[in-house]
Amino acid sequence: MDSHFPAIISLSLIFVLFNASFAHSSTIGVGYISRILEIQDRERAPPAVQVAAARAVLRRLLPSHTSSFHFEIVSKEQCGGDPCFMIKNNPSFSSHGDPEILIMGVTGVEISAGLHWYLKYWCGSHISWDKTGGAQLFSVPRAGLLPRVQDAGIVVQRPIPWNYYQNAVSSSYSFAWWDWKRWEKEIDWMALQGINLPLAFTGQEAIWQKVFQKFNVSKTDLDNFFGGPAFLAWSRMGNLHGWGGPLPQSWLDQQLILQKKILARMYELGMTPVLPAFSGNVPAALTYIFPSAKITRLGNWFSVKSDPKVCCTYLLDATDPLFVEIGKAFINEQLKEYGRTGHIYNCDTFDENTPPVDVPEYISSLGAAIFRGMQTGDDDAVWLMQGWLFSYDPFWRPLQTKALLQSVPLGRLVVLDLFAEVKPIWITSEQFYGVPYIWCMLHNFAGNSEMYGILDSVASGPVDARKSENSTMVGVGMSMEGIEQNPVVYDLMSEMAFQHNKVDVKLWIHLYSKRRYGQSVPLIQDAWNILYNTVYNCTDGAYDKNRDVIVAFPDVDPSFISVPHERYNHQRKSLSRRAAIEQITDSFDKPHLWYSTSEVIHALELFIASGDELSESNTYRYDLVDLTRQAVAKYANQLFLKVIEAYRLNDIHGVACHTQKFLDLVEDMDTLLGCHEGFLLGPWLESAQKLAQDEEQKKQFEWNARTQITMWFDNTEEEASLLHDYGNKYWSGLLRDYYGPRAAIYFKFLLESLEKSHDFQLKDWRREWIKLTNDWQRSRKAFPVESTGNALNISRWLYNKYLQSSDT
């Protein structure tokens, strides 16, 4: 174990020496938010509270070393004027039980981040979510034998004040069923990653209930307003209402209690939780309670039936006096319930809701009114807005964007450049027309399983933005829709909160593989170098929504699917491999392929070859399962094309042969996924049931959980939801019980079409598939919550069965 410490220490110097002196990296944007930064510093929890909270993080993470570290809060002035952490040797250390390492920071978050930095670069450890392998801490030496840092100590400053975390929909795709135990783990993870500006959206429905009752809205009216537990994110944004509901009173009460615990812990650590603000989304009842109010019924948002019970929500015009009244009441009710605020509020009135008029003066009046709704409740309010609307909605041309952004006093609006690693808006908007912004990595949609990333962009994009001329950047952030995937991407992105210069990813990934598994394995390092240059080097600018055939089966007549004229061979040049996918027509979403599959298969070969050395490592097992899943899934896409090719040639035997192979593959992959806790359906369903108070709630909550990952929204007998498979997952149980049977129905109609010499019966296929889905949504079948099977053996078996031969 000791042999790899010198390499870790020497490379760690590359990362921290630029911070050894007090290097200021401030932007003009930081100057604009200086007022709220001063307020945050003044109102933070007392130093003793923050130190105790950071020590509790250490105790939960590494209980054997609680006496090995001494923590202390220091001032910004001691850090050279910016937030920082310091790592020093304890000069008084003499015997076992004495603190060996001193870690100081401006807040409890900086202390926790300093602890992580030390464990990472002096002890060779690695920390990720439990579902992605958890923490690798066995490389940390015993208490009393911890590595010393250089005599002068280490100082690491934040180049930019804020490190933001979450997306407005993370609360539904990932956090929907969390209890306090899981939230405590997440807040610990946040602190260790240096996150100091997290969203805190839990429990707001209980606040809204109290607020709307003051405006004479009944509980029955609210039953039709709030979405179900798995769809709250979209009912909060005004995209839908009532879907999956109504919310039981016990849910509202439980979630409010949970939110108070979440906020208390965040404040103890020195974080600034971002609370919600009023966006204008109101219950239908307000239209008759306040008949003169300017309330507009919005259009259909992805509903098949256009059912008024779930679609076409109501938006109160921000220029109506009632808007400010409700906005103030909501802020005041949060202050009353929570006792304090961090003064930063998220509001996304126009997220997938386009304003009715594009006149800049009108848009400016809307923006000013929305902010006034916050400010009347909190004079120090700062509006945090997701910038997603500027990425996708053509409505937001320069004049309209500028009108909205400049409608709020400078420094009182901060924009999240939500998709900056792929589509940075700061470049095309003159740094958001002078408004402070946070450079965010979106990365993941709906919590889909896909090995994907743009590591070079992550390692350089925030630095380019911060160092650009007249930069208004004030932070970095992670704005993924779903978490617990691709730990390498989040490890690097969280580190950018402390990096002043671009990171050499090739060097960084070399060290990552050592830390991830606790030892240096040359073949694994070679494999990670391949992965860095393939799956983690997506430069085509495409949105990475996983549309693999297994999890997003094409709902299309096979005659509209083009097939390659040559047989697929993963040893051929990468262009022809990509062409095999790209020749599928636009009648359904094509699976995204941006790399050479043969190279990734070679990386898998290296992983398998290293299995005897690493099979006891949980992080290795997660990565092995994920990499095998990735390789086999892309093979399955090609196998599906062989099915279609045989169908187009009227080859009944070929269709039968290839469809059986596809269905066998789905079963085999389900077995593979069952080898690791990070790929199980069972925990998602069980956690939903655990929050229920009675049998009816269990049915409702489980229906919510099952629906989100399958049909998502409403359907008819012959028309599937427009959002079906958006929340798809590669989870053991889901493949065997749902994705496989669905594919089998489609294949049945393919064979029937050939055998009876008639066209493919698309409507019949849809009827059976939709019935299968709706029955599955209502099912109460239980699935394993613990992994079984040997990941290395199963991976080796799947490789030999599907990937070793070049012939499909």
DSSP for 353-367, written as a single string: ---S---HHHHHHHH
Alpha-carbon distance of 516 to 135, in angstroms, equals: 8
Alpha-carbon distance of 98 to 57, in angstroms, equals: 19
Query: Across all residues in the chain, what is the average pLDDT?
Result: 93
Opening angle at CA 81, ends 77 and 84, nearest 5: 90
Least-confidence region, from 205-214, 584-593, 637-646: 584-593
Report CA Rg, the chain: 27
pLDDT at 568 over 80: no
Mean pLDDT of 196-225: 97
Cis peptide before 229 (omega within 30 of 0): no
Q: What's the length of the chain?
A: 808
* Sole residue written with tokens 């990670």: 528
Alpha-carbon distance of 558 to 554, in angstroms, equals: 9
Least-confidence region, from 155-169, 382-396, 774-788: 382-396
Q: What is the pLDDT at residue 25?
A: 63
Q: What is the pLDDT at residue 40?
A: 96
Check residues 10 and 55 and name the one with the higher pLDDT: 55
Predicted confidence band of residue 97 (pLDDT cuts 50, 70, 90) = confident
Residues linked to residue 441 through DSSP beta bridges, in sequence order: 478
Q: By C-alpha distance, which of 281, 237, 275 is closest to 382? A: 275
Alpha-carbon distance of 664 to 642, in angstroms, equals: 15
Q: What is the pLDDT at residue 588?
A: 61
Q: What is the pLDDT at residue 22?
A: 52
Alpha-carbon distance of 571 to 504, in angstroms, equals: 31
Residues linked to residue 102 through DSSP beta bridges, in sequence order: 70, 88
pLDDT at 189 over 70: yes
Mean pLDDT of 654-667: 98
Predicted confidence band of residue 544 (pLDDT cuts 50, 70, 90) = confident
Torsion angles phi and psi, residue 345, rounded to 5: -130, 135
Strands of 436-502, DSSP E: 437-441, 473-478
Contact 246, 226 (CB under 8 A): yes
Q: Percentage of the chain with pLDDT > 70?
A: 93
Mode of pairing for the β-strands spanning 382-386 and 413-417: parallel
Question: The sheet that has 281-282: what strands, in order across it?
Answer: 281-282, 314-316, 295-297
pLDDT at 579 over 80: no
pLDDT at 565 over 80: no
Mean pLDDT of 550-557: 96
Q: By C-alpha distance, which of 45, 44, 47, 101 is closest to 72? A: 47
Mode of pairing for the β-strands spanning 413-417 and 154-157: unpaired
Q: Which two tokens stand for residue 345?
A: 């509020």
Check residues 19 and 326 and name the one with the higher pLDDT: 326
> Which element (helix H / strand E) includes 276?
strand 275-276
pLDDT at 604 over 80: yes
Mode of pairing for the β-strands spanning 69-73 and 281-282: unpaired
Least-confidence region, from 502-506, 545-549, 694-698, 745-749: 545-549
Contact 192, 220 (CB under 8 A): no
Predicted confidence band of residue 282 (pLDDT cuts 50, 70, 90) = very high
Alpha-carbon distance of 431 to 253, in angstroms, equals: 42
Alpha-carbon distance of 171 to 178, in angstroms, equals: 9
Alpha-carbon distance of 669 to 732, in angstroms, equals: 8
Check residues 90 and 564 and name the one with the higher pLDDT: 90
pLDDT at 574 over 50: no
Mean pLDDT of 484-507: 98
Predicted confidence band of residue 585 (pLDDT cuts 50, 70, 90) = very low
